[in-house]
Structure formats: C-alpha cells, structure tokens
Structure 1
Amino acid sequence: MITELKRVIDQVSREKGLDREILIKTLEEAVKAAARKKLGSNYDLEVNFNDEIGEIEVFEFKEVVEEVTDGHVQISLGEARKIDPGCEIGDSLGIKMDTDEFGRIAAQSAKQVIMQRMREAERNIVYGDFKDRRGEIVHGIVQRFDKGGIIVNLGRTEAELPVKEQISKESYKQGDRVRAYILDVRQFSRGPQIILSRTHPNFISALFENEVPEIAEGIVSIVQVAREPGGRAKIAVTSRDSDVDPVGACVGMKGTRVQAVVQELRGEKIDIVTWDPDPAKFICNALAPAEVVRVIVEEDARSMEIVVPDDQLSLAIGKKGQNVRLASKISGWHLDVTSESNYNQALKDAYDSLLNISGVGEKTALNLYQAGYRSAEEVAGAQIPDLTHLKDIGEEKARKIIEGAKQYLEVKEAEKALVQEAGVDSSADEGAASGEIDGGFESPAEEAKEETTDGE
C-alpha cells in the first residue's frame, strides 16, 4: 500500500531530481527535531522511515532497570516485559511512539525543515551541474535587472551578467535572448552564483570553437586573444597541420565563420593573425595590414621599435592607437611605432652622437644603436659588462668606448662653460664652436676615433 507520504517523497524525487535517500534522511531528521522540541532533550529518540508501509516510525529508547529513578530514560523490568517478554535488566528497549501526539507544530516544523533541505539539495545539484562548466557558452533569457547587472534565466537557475562583463554599446530588455561565457561559479550559503561575461577574451575563443570544426578537433589552436570589447579584437592562431591554413579556417568560405562571430558580438571587428614563435615576426603579423620595414628588439625591456612606411603610420597605429595597443596586448611586448623618415632622422641623430665617441665607427655605432643606446650620454652611463655582450666588442674595447664617451661629454661641458663665461648667446656660439671644430681643429680623441673607424 502506497501512503500519501510515500507518494509525496516519490513525486518530489522525480520532479525535482533529488536523491530519494536524501529526502528520506531529511524527513527523518525533521521529525526527530520536531519530537525533541515537543518532548525535550532528555529523551533518547530514533526515527526511521518504514518504506514497506510508507510511514515514519519514532522509537523512544529506555534502559531496563529494577527501580526507576528517571522515567524519561528508564523503564522497570515488569513494564518492559509487557512490551518484550525476553528483555533483561540492562537492556535498551525501543518503544514505538504515536507520531500523532506531536500535533500540528511538529508537522509544520517538519515541513519547514524538509523544504529547507530540498532547497539546499537543489542548490547543490545546480552547483554540481555548473562548477565544471566554466569556459562554456550558455544561452539564457533576460529576466530582470539589478543595479546595472542583468539577471539571466538559464532554466533551472539564474546567472548574473555584471556591468563590467557587458559590452558597453549593447542594450537588453526583459525577455531578450542572450549568449554568454561562464566566467565563474561560486558556492554560497544562499546558493550557487554563476557569473557570465561577454567581454572576456575567452568568449571569442569559445565562439570560434563553436564555428570552426578545425578548432574543435584540435587541428587549429587559438594561442592568444586581445580585445577592446565592442570595438576590435585580435586573435592569434596556429595549425599543427601544415596543409591547413589557420587564418583561412577561422575566416571560412566567403568569411562566413568570422562573420558569425562578428554578428554575435554586435559588429566588433576581428583581426585574425598567424602566431609565430619569433616575437618580431609575430609582431609583423599582428600589425597587419600595415607593412613593417624594420623591427628593433630590446629583449631585456621586452620592447620593440617598429618602423613602417610614412604613408602607413596611421594604419599601423590605428584609430586612437587601437591597432598598436591590441598588437602590444596580444604579444606581451611594449611597441613603439614610428615612420621610416622619423626613424632615419633619429638614426642619423643617434649615429652623429655615437660617432662623436672616440673608438666608435659606423659598424659599432649601429651595434650600439640596435642595443638601445641613442646618445653619448647613455654610453657614458653604461658598465663594461653591458657592452661586452654586443657583437665584436670585447672588454678592452668596451672600456675605451665608455671612456671615450665620458671624454666627449667633458669636452662638450667645457665648451658650454666657455660660451657661458663669454656671455655670448649660447645657440649661436655652440654653432660657431661646432663649425670651428669641424673646420680644422681636431682633439686627440677625434684623431684616435678616425684611426679606429678606418680599421672597422
């Protein structure tokens, strides 16, 4: 015979997806709590659900004694044998109680505890379902708004799309469908909190994985993503199959694959570039469609000077610097983009400064420039080990170059002091002094420089 209680347990278990044994255990604990509240804590109680008859059974346990001193926990041998003729002194006798005596209060208390445990069990199930789904894309419906955040109905539970995870130019209204990336799943006493994002770089990666079979199959990989959500994004891709073009796979026939992602992101532009293990080559790819003429790499500072044709400077930098910012973000290098004419002028100025150092010819000047030295002042501040790791510069030559730079600066300081002492306009006299030196007077340092230059 199936009782009403058993029917309710089976129905809740089936409809809510809750473990039946957990429900029964919860019910037993609820009735036990209600009984203790009614009878007091002195009673030794045990509660069991009898699945055969579909009823809760409550047993009060008492010790069988000769003389009763506490009727709550003891029973005389005579009374005990009326219930169980085989019991003896010292036995613990379970006496079945009438659950009806707990009354309405006990029933209400049991109901509240059951509902609470059911909610806890449901929350645990939801958390268990979503905790391993971080990084997935989910579909939901905008349910309501909370302090700028969007509460999204995912079916069995709700998720939050916070303000900072929303694309600024997007707007939603109640009932709109939305796709988002599961950024985090947290467990709280009030239930799991599922955080969604539409701005995270991995949202683009997940969208492409859905659109590009080669990515889902592991043939093409997305190495890095850089985004300015709602504006532009760059993704770096590579292929483990030489016959599969990673960029072409992501773009798709007539751009269908990339356009599907762009449409989902409400028009966010996406540049797909080929990843390269060589940072300089990768930067050239990342700055496309701008053409790169030269790359000067400073490994220690993780910095690159990028030289582009004059007519492509604005293209390389992008609107409000967006293109070079994204290229820097996706590569992890600081980038300084300059035009070819500016670079050549800077190179000439640097060469002129470096060539004034005794012992430095054109090859050494180029070597120093490529190492990041742009003036005699910078060379004078260097240490010998700083220069010895450069090509064709040994310890002795490094020492002479540094000393030559210091001597050159001393001469310049002396010239400046003479001009100031004479009370003549600084700019005019500096030009005259320079012309005088160029016109026929040569210092011993300059003579030594000529000899070294000839030998380079």
Structure 2
Amino acid sequence: MAITSANQLELLQTAEAVAREKMIDPDLVIEAMEDSLARAAKSRYGSEMDIRVKIDRKTGRATFTRVRTVVEEDAVENYQAELTVAQARQYLADPQVGDEIVDEVPPVDLGRIAAQSAKQVILQRVRDAERDRQFEEFKDRKGTIINGMVKREEYGNLIVDIGRGEAILRRNEKIGRESYRPNDRIRAFIKDVRREARGPQVFLSRTDPQFMAELFKMEVPEIYDGIIEIKAVARDPGSRAKIAVISHDSSIDPVGACVGMRGSRVQAVVGELQGEKIDIIPWNEDQATFLVNALQPAEVAKVVIDEEAGKIEVVVPDEQLSLAIGRRGQNVRLASQLTGLDIDILTEAEESSRRQAEFAERTQLFVDALDLDEFFAQLLVAEGFTNLEEVAYVDVDELLSIEGVDEDTAQELQARARDHIEETNRKAMAAARELGVEDSLVEFEGLTPQMIEALARDGIKTLEDFATCADWELAGGWTTVNGQRVKDEGLLEKFDVSLEEAQNLVMTARIHLGWVDPSELEADADAEDDDAEAAANDAEAEA
C-alpha cells in the first residue's frame, strides 16, 4: 500500500468511519495511523532512525520526516538520530544542544507484511481509545442503577450488554433464586468500575444494600428530592431487608411515603427484588429508640448500650425471644447491620438471673473485705456501692444517708475499706518487685500497685516497656475476624481503664522519656481542630 494521491483522502475517510463506529475522537485514529506509518518507515530506513509521520487533517497527505537531535560532543550514542554541535553547523547557523534538525524523506511503499503490521497498530490504538472512553463514561456512574441485556453466562457469572460495553454480574452478587437466559432484560447496581489490563471492568450487583436504596429513590419522589433521607439499609438478599428513613419535613410521614398508597411503592421494589420482604423503619437519633424500632415486630423491655465496647444488650419478654432473634437469627442480624452495633438478646429471666449473680458477687466482696454480716453488705450493694474504693473515699454524708448508719459506723466502714486497699496495694507492690519491676515504672504517676503487678506479670517492667504499648493492649478492644467481632482482653481492662485513659498514659510516658515533643502534639491538635472546623463550615455551606 503506497501512500499516493489516489488514497490520501481515503485515509481521512477511514479515520472518520472508524471514529464514528467506535464513538471516539477521529484525531486518535489519525494519530494511530501516523504511528503505524512511522513504524513501517523505520523498518525500511532503519530502526535506529527517528522517523516521524504527519498526516494533514484536510488533504490527507502524509509527510515523512527524519529527526536528529543536537547533543554534547561526547554524548552521541545513536549516530542515526543524534549529531554534535559541530556537525549541526552545516544545517544551522547557531546550533544549540537540544535543537532538532528535520529532513523530509521519501514516503514508503508498504508491503503486505508492513501493511498488516500497520493495521494491527491502528486496531490496538483504537481499542485502547475505546477502553479509555468506556472507563471515563462508566466511572462516574458508579453507585447508580443501569439496565442491560444478558448476553451469556460464564461459570455462573452473567455477562451483561450495557450499551457501549459489557459488564459482569458475578454469581455471588445475584439474588439466590434468580436465573437468567440470553436476551433477558436485567436491572442492576453499578458496584465498581476498574481499569484493568484487559480493559475497563464494570461490576454489577443485585445484592448490595445500596441497590435497594437506589430503587426506593426511583419509586419515591420525596427521596429523590431530598425531603426523605435513607439513613441505613440492611439486607439478607432475596429474603428480608430493613431500611431506616427520616423526613426533613415534619408534615411528611417517611414510612407512609415509602410504602405508598395501598403499598404500591414498596411493592414495586419488592417485585424487582424477587419478593424480598422489606421492613421500613423510622430512623431516630437516639440509638436505643432506633434499635427498638429496628427489632420490630418484637417488643423490647429494656436497652443497655456499652458505647466503648460497641455492644448493646436488649432485654425482651420471654415469649418475644424467638421473634426478636428471627428465623436463623435473621431479625437480630439485620438490626445489628442497621445500627452498626453488636446486639445481645436477653430474656427478662436471664437478665434477672445475671443481676442476682452480680449482687451476690458484690455482697461477698464486702463481707470478706470489710468483715460485715451479709445483711449489711447487701444494704451497701442495694445503695449502689460496687467496689471498696467507693466505700473508702466517698463523702461521709452518702454513707450517713443509709438507714441505720451513724457517723461512727461510717468512719469505721471507711477505715476498714482503706486498710484493706492499703494491704492489697502492699502485697501487689511486693509481688511486682519480686517480678523485677524497676523504679521508673513504680514512680510513674497514674498506675496503681495492682496495675503495676498486672503489667509485670506480662513482662512490662520498665517505663520504656510501658511506653511501647498500644492503647488497645492496655484497655482492650474489638477486632473483626471473618465478619465476627472478637474481644481483645486488655492488660488493665479489669481496672476499668478506658481507651482514652490508656492513650493519655502511654503518651505521657513517651513525653517523660523524651520520645515525643509536647509542642508537636499541640501543633497537631491545633491542625486537627482547624481541619474539623473547616469540615464543619463546608458541611454548613452545602446544607
């Protein structure tokens, strides 16, 4: 294929046709042609030459040029594409390093192999441009719903035609009992768009919770307009789902708006999700109230929240236990996903039994430590005293408020409590010393003798050892393993040391050792405050 006047315009026509068919910029096709012709010319004139081709966008004329770059005297590596300043003087009056000397060379006559190679280059560049266009088109549609047509099934995964490309719906993203055949229409959620070596990959889902949220947005105009907001979604795909909604207009009932007249709106979503039962729940800022709503239809007697542990205990009547848990734990699992908390379900009988056990344990503590009779110990527990420190250091007036306790009795109680605490501290410190604890840790403010003994038994015997600890190692925490929250026991957790207190203790130790500069901490804290204030201002401006 020679580039002659007969086929110069044909180049432009071919580029236009390919660009229209692939819906890409014609310039990209022409640039691919220029690149392919340049490669063919290099095979004719020599691969070490810098041959460039420029196709005129109006006439289609292809101009072949050889480019040589001016380099330093001793820097010439490729004599075909580089020349020295002295050599360049025969072409330029005042050549400088970096200047380019361009000579036009005769067009090449492409043989069969060269023409085939050029065709492959053009096709590859067109494919790359098409992939870039597809990625740019679909990356902004991530998180939306798309309609497509099933093309084929590969190992349980569906390949879906979405117009200007293909998408994949993996089998684990399909609702359990769904089955599709080629040419079936399908609606799915664009979960992810990734650029991969084989081209952009669009991943669809019908099990993602946000798929249901987007369906409600399509069916409920109030959600689309922002009057009603979907705060949380939890799904057991194909079986049951819970969705929490709130209205920003007091005159509109969020649950009623989502249900629709005679259930028309929610039924449209249920139909798309293959009969998945949907509980629409009013969202509440109060976590306990929200959880009571989330556990519907079960009735809740009491809610106890442990915010630090991220757990919540729900007490239900005995006859409501199976309803609260649901079939195979479905109801409580969905409520847990909705609130983001671990939920323990207890019956009233189980909670009563546990309270009695705690009461008996605290009573025995006061009987043993303060040498009291059982009745008087029970009286202290009933008044809310849970440990010896509270008895020893509480204001005397609180003890005097207990029926039958006079000033002498109160002082005796406090004296016994303090004596017991001091004796316990003495034994703990002696044990810690035997384990090899150094003065640097003993003299560190904030640690009791019992805490020091507990640390020593775990091999932490110096202030340096303590400063290397992580806050969760001291206060304990929670780790998610295979979707389940697992408790990490802290070395000082039994002494009621919170995560924040552990952070402060460790940081104080590091400052004391000179590992951390307090002024840097203050600067970081000020920066965080500024960032938080800026974020708050941005949020207010958007609102």
Shared fold by TM > 0.5?
Answer: yes
- Determine if the alignment matches structure 1 residue 97 to structure 2 residue 97: no
CA distance in 2, matches of 1:362, 1:258: 56
Whether the 8 Å CA contact 2:65–2:102 is kept in 1: the answer is: no
Report the alpha carbon displacement of residue 349 of structure 1 after superposing the two structures with TM: 5.2
CA distance in 2, matches of 1:35, 1:383: 92
Whether the 8 Å CA contact 1:360–1:401 is kept in 2: the answer is: no
Report the alpha carbon displacement of residue 105 of structure 1 after superposing the two structures with TM: 2.6
Deviations 1:234-267 (A, max 9, x none): 1111121111211112111111111111111101
Of residues 193-202 and 346-355 in structure 1, the stretch that sits farther from structure 2 once superposed is 346-355
- Counterpart amino acid of 1:13? A
Q: 1:178 aligns with which of 186, 189, 194?
A: 186
1:156-305 map, 5 Å: 156-305=164-313
* Equivalent in the alignment of 2:140: 132
**Secondary structure of the corresponding residue to residue 32 of structure 2:** helix
Whether the 8 Å CA contact 2:28–2:126 is kept in 1: the answer is: no
* Equivalent in the alignment of 1:79: none
CA distance in 2, matches of 1:182, 1:223: 20
* Equivalent in the alignment of 2:511: none
Of residues 350-359 and 309-318 in structure 1, the stretch that sits farther from structure 2 once superposed is 350-359
TM-score, scaled to structure 1: 0.72
- Determine if the alignment matches structure 1 residue 26 to structure 2 residue 38: no
Measured on the aligned residues, the alpha-carbon RMSD in Å equals 3.5
CA distance in 2, matches of 1:304, 1:362: 29
Deviations 1:120-170 (A, max 9, x none): 000000000011111011111121122221111112211111122122222
Whether the 8 Å CA contact 1:202–1:225 is kept in 2: the answer is: yes
Report the alpha carbon displacement of residue 53 of structure 1 after superposing the two structures with TM: 2.3
- Counterpart amino acid of 1:240? H
Number of positions where the alignment pairs a residue of Structure 1 with one of Structure 2: 368
- Counterpart amino acid of 2:318? D
* Equivalent in the alignment of 1:144: 152
Of residues 11-20 and 128-137 in structure 1, the stretch that sits farther from structure 2 once superposed is 11-20
Deviations 1:388-427 (A, max 9, x none): 9xxx79xx98x959979xxxxxxxxxxxxxxxxxxxxxxx
Whether the 8 Å CA contact 2:389–2:417 is kept in 1: the answer is: no
Q: 1:45 aligns with which of 51, 60, 63?
A: 51
Report the alpha carbon displacement of residue 310 of structure 1 after superposing the two structures with TM: 3.1
Whether the 8 Å CA contact 1:137–1:180 is kept in 2: the answer is: yes
- Counterpart amino acid of 1:287? L
- Counterpart amino acid of 2:272? E
- Counterpart amino acid of 1:107? A
CA distance in 2, matches of 1:401, 1:260: 69
Report the alpha carbon displacement of residue 223 of structure 1 after superposing the two structures with TM: 1.0
- Determine if the alignment matches structure 1 residue 54 to structure 2 residue 60: yes
Structure 2 segments unaligned to the other structure (5+ residues): 1-5, 70-78, 83-88, 93-100, 367-375, 400-412, 422-543
> Cα–Cα, structure 1 residues 310 and 29, in superposed 2: closer, same or farther, change >3 Å?
same
> Cα–Cα, structure 1 residues 303 and 47, in superposed 2: closer, same or farther, change >3 Å?
closer
- Counterpart amino acid of 2:106? M
Whether the 8 Å CA contact 1:38–1:102 is kept in 2: the answer is: no
CA distance in 2, matches of 1:62, 1:342: 89
Whether the 8 Å CA contact 2:239–2:276 is kept in 1: the answer is: yes
- Counterpart amino acid of 2:60? G
* Equivalent in the alignment of 1:317: 325
- Counterpart amino acid of 1:33? R
CA distance in 2, matches of 1:289, 1:9: 65
CA distance in 1, matches of 2:132, 2:318: 62
**Secondary structure of the corresponding residue to residue 3 of structure 1:** helix
CA distance in 2, matches of 1:214, 1:364: 54
**Secondary structure of the corresponding residue to residue 210 of structure 2:** helix
Report the alpha carbon displacement of residue 90 of structure 1 after superposing the two structures with TM: 2.1
CA distance in 1, matches of 2:81, 2:286: 82
Deviations 1:76-133 (A, max 9, x none): xxxxxxxxxxxx942556334133x232332222111111100000000000001111
CA distance in 2, matches of 1:300, 1:42: 69
> Cα–Cα, structure 1 residues 247 and 39, in superposed 2: closer, same or farther, change >3 Å?
same
- Counterpart amino acid of 1:53? T
TM-score, scaled to structure 2: 0.61
> Cα–Cα, structure 1 residues 256 and 73, in superposed 2: closer, same or farther, change >3 Å?
closer
* Equivalent in the alignment of 2:454: none
- Counterpart amino acid of 2:41? A
Structure 1 segments unaligned to the other structure (5+ residues): 64-70, 75-87, 369-378, 405-456
- Counterpart amino acid of 1:95? E
- Determine if the alignment matches structure 1 residue 123 to structure 2 residue 131: yes
**Secondary structure of the corresponding residue to residue 115 of structure 1:** helix
CA distance in 1, matches of 2:291, 2:145: 30
Structure 1 runs (4+) greater than 6 angstroms displaced: 71-74, 382-385, 401-404
CA distance in 2, matches of 1:134, 1:8: 34
Report the alpha carbon displacement of residue 197 of structure 1 after superposing the two structures with TM: 1.0
> Cα–Cα, structure 1 residues 42 and 336, in superposed 2: closer, same or farther, change >3 Å?
closer
CA distance in 2, matches of 1:256, 1:191: 41
1:58-73 map, 5 Å: 58-60=64-66
Report the alpha carbon displacement of residue 330 of structure 1 after superposing the two structures with TM: 1.1
Identity of counterpart residues, as a percentage? 44
